[in-house]
Structure 1
Amino acid sequence: MKLFQRNGDGKRVSKRNGFAFGVFGAIVAVFIVTALFQSQGIQINIETNPEKAQANPLTVENTEKNNIKAIQAAQEAVVGVSAVKEGARGENSAGTGSGVIYKKDGDKALVVTNHHVIEQASDLEVTLSDGTKTDAELQGSDPFTDLAVLEIDAEHVSKVADFAKSEDVEVGQTAFAIGNPLGMDFAGSVTKGIVSGLDRNVPVDLNGDSEPDWHTTVLQTDAAINPGNSGGALINQNGKVIGINSMKIAKAEVEGIGFAIPAETVTSITSELESKGEVERPYIGVSLYDLSQLPARAVQGELNLPENVEGGAVVGKTATGTPAAEAGLKQNDVITAINGETVASTLDLRKYLYEDAKAGDEATLTVYRNGQQQQITLTLSEQ
């Protein structure tokens, strides 16, 4: 917009209106910023209708309100789990954890929690979000994924958790951990963080020998997970469960590294635990230990292995009537491959059996017996 005035000679000269120029500059700036964001793959919408803009403002306050609604909805499905365990000398101890109500069917409801929360428990009790206590019955448990399913009376259950799709979970998205740290005095506690990593493989010692028996696949989060949070929910900003809180790295030099079992794993495993009480996995029927655990003298003397064989799973005992026994596997046989896949440890063999095979499959083992390599084929059965 231009305004005209006369100069000292009586000629008309133009003068820019400062307000109009400012508006024009702002519009140009908006287009520049928009173009910049869109060039980076970021879409932004500018609401030009004042009524719509006022009705749906993108503010920190509204974001927090949405988070609060999502958390409050999810909290109703998070419960406390108390497990009474009998010690070796007959004394009882009570452990506490968390759980998530994921299904309601008639007069019964199902709760998912961690295997380590209820392991060796003689009595189980669930405390709902409103404080109601009810007895729980174990339906099934799986130590490899650290998941367990409990059944409770559905009379006081008002909310069932919604689960997100694992493929929609991204690193950097906001995550809230809900549970009962340090027992029911802090029931329904919420901590906030982000999803720090996907598909993390964490070693798990199942038999207490300080050696990994399994690598479990988990989500990593920096949302605080404390004792008692185990079995609780890790949710997104929509209130959907993206994982079941399971563990954290508890070292003085480590801060903010916690893990949750992904939603996809939870839904798959709980389905089997509901129907069968356990997860059926193929097995060959032997006890095994790692070749790397043996002294070099035993490897070269008793096993008579070639020097180029540096890893493998050594057969300890073979159970009668198992695929291994029927195929002729013997004590001190060293398994170095299964169906062409290298076996450097018992963990490699277990991972192949549990993730790439199923009961009824044929498996060809590459085995060293008395220093001689041979192939042994067997049919896998259910454990």
Structure 2
Amino acid sequence: MKKFLGVVLVLLLMSIITGVVFAFVFDSLQSADVPAPTVAEPTPTTVTQTRIVFEERSIADVVQSVKDSVVIVRKEVVNFNESRFVGAGSGVVYREDDEAYYVITNAHVVNGGNKFNIGFTELQQYPAELLGFDNDADIATLKILKSDITNGEKLVVAKLGNPKDLFVGETVLAVGNALGYGQSVTKGIVSAVDRDLGGRKNAAYRLIQTDAAINPGNSGGALVNAAGEVVGINTVKIASTEVEGVGFAIPISAGEHIAEAIREKGYFPRSFLGVTVRNLDLNALLQNNYPLGVYVQQVVPNGPAAKAGIQSGDLILKIGDTEVTDSADLVYEITSRSVGEVVPITIYRDSVTMEVQATLESNENYRGQ
């Protein structure tokens, strides 16, 4: 028993000594200049938001910058030396050389006339030569000799913008000869881009939709952004008791391309692929596990498509990187490209997707086919 009590006393004494030593060491560590462990706080993440600041110049400043670039286009019919006024529209000076200025307008502005004048007012007009027009594109090109412009007046080539930079909600101005009263301005926004109106044959572009008022006489005038750049050529307004504030403009990039072809050749040579296609029912495509595309019904012998290896029964899925969902997509993608351009075309045949290269040709070479 005594031996047991001795063991207990020894253990108790050792625990007391251990506690004292631990306390001494702990206090020493606390009082020494030993840096306490630092817990790293998370670095705050800086989120940088890129804001598009759209600084508009005043409307008056924008109008001043384009007023000498937008003209009245007046058309007459001359028969047996008698001249009869038949209408007026607007035009935009888009180019000049040492000899002349060149004006882009709508084909429907010049249709029905055989004598043309341009100017800033009805009282001061200068003779213009019609170089040509394209009814499907609704674009015409006029030429005005610099030697015919008198009284110190000077036309100014418009600054052309990039319609691809437009965004919905952007402020735009429609500048033109509204109602035949001379130059006027209306304000609106870009309501939509890449619009396609039904019934347009061989469309070489998609349209800009705007709620800026496009009145009779405004056709052929300028759609202008807040930087004073012409981004479109006003072309049509939907007139209906059920529709308000719906006007359309041709993107200036497409309009200039067509106007330049007319200036050089007298007409707009359309790119030609050489296929007849039809749209397929979407449900039928899905049920048969076919990809979305247009069905090739016929291929013009020795045409660009035939030379590229496209066959009847193929599905055309893409032109370049653009998906083709219906025949309107195909027409636009082909006619908006240049003659001679090599275009990659994705097709589907016998459960295999493949890409071929087609060199577009002019439709002038295939009249009647």
TM-score (norm 1): 0.60
Verify the 8 A CA contact 1:117 1:231 in the aligned structure 2: yes
- Alpha-carbon offset, residue 292 of structure 1: 5.3
* 1:294-305 equivalent positions in 2, closer than 5 A: none
Paired position in structure 2 for 1:56: none
| Structure 1 position 190 matched with structure 2 position 208 | no
Secondary structure of 1:224's counterpart equals coil
SS at match of 1:216: coil
Distance 1:291 1:76 in 2: 50
Q: Does 1:382 align with 2:361?
A: yes
Distance 1:187 1:316, change over 3 A: farther
Is 1:220 the equivalent of 2:214? no
What secondary structure sits across from 2:196 in the alignment? strand
* d(CA) in 1 for partners of 2:94, 2:308: 43
Tell me which amino acid in the other structure corresponds to 1:188: Q
Whether the 8 Å CA contact 2:73–2:116 is kept in 1: the answer is yes
Residue 113 of structure 1: how far off its partner (Å): 0.8
Q: Percent identity?
A: 30
C-alpha change, 1:93 and 1:325, in structure 2 (3 Å) is: farther
1:348 and 2:311 equivalent? no
In structure 2, the residue matched to 1:175 is: 172
1:229 matched to 2:221: no
Q: Contact between 1:290 and 1:346, CA under 8 Å: does it hold in 2?
A: yes
Show structure 2 runs of 5+ residues with no match: 1-48, 79-83, 363-369
Alignment partner of 2:124 out of 117, 132, 142: 132
Shift of 1:160: 1.4
- Partner AA of 1:242 in structure 2: V
C-alpha separation in 1, matches of 2:135 and 2:230: 21
Q: Distance in 2 between matches of 1:283 and 1:71?
A: 40
Q: What secondary structure, in the 3-state scheme, does the structure 2 residue paired with 1:203 have?
A: coil
Distance in 2 between residues matched to 1:337 and 1:358, nearest whole Å: 21
Q: CA RMSD in A?
A: 4.5
Equivalent residue of 1:348, what SS? helix
CA distance in structure 1 between the partners assigned to 2:215 and 2:289 by the alignment: 46
SS at match of 2:109: helix
User: Residue by residue, what CA displacement relative to the aligned partner does 1:60-96 show, whole Å, maximum 9, x if unpaired?
Assistant: xxx8xx644643553343223345699xxxxx99453
Equivalent residue for 2:67? 75
Distance 1:144 1:380 in 2: 23
- 1:335 is aligned to 315
Q: CA deviation at 1:114?
A: 1.9
Query: Gapped runs of 5+ residues in structure 1?
Result: 1-38, 44-62, 87-91, 208-212, 300-305
Give the equivalent residue in structure 2 for 1:163.
159
**1:125 CA drift (Å):** 0.9
Q: Secondary structure at the match of 1:109?
A: strand
Asked if 1:359 corresponds to 2:340, the answer is yes
Q: For residues 8-58 of structure 1, give each alpha carbon's deviation from its aligned partner in whole angstroms, at most 9, with x where no partner exists.
A: xxxxxxxxxxxxxxxxxxxxxxxxxxxxxxx99799xxxxxxxxxxxxxxx
Name the count of aligned residue pairs.
Answer: 298
| 1:174-196 CA-partner distances (Å, limit 9, x unpaired) | 433222234x3x221322x2323
Q: 1:112 corresponds to which residue?
A: 104
Counterpart residue type for residue 360 of structure 2: S
2:143 to 124, 145, 151: 151
Go from structure 1 to structure 2 and tell me whether the alpha carbon gap of 1:137 and 1:215 turns closer, same or farther (over 3 Å shift): closer
Contact 1:220 1:259 in 2 (8 A): yes
Contact 1:204 1:216 in 2 (8 A): no
Q: Is the 8 A contact 2:209 2:247 kept in 1?
A: yes
**Cα distance 1:215–1:138, how it changes in 2: closer, same or farther (>3 A)?**
closer
8 Å contact from structure 2 (residues 221, 233) kept in 1: yes
- Structure 2 match to 1:96: 88
Q: TM-score, normalised by structure 2?
A: 0.62
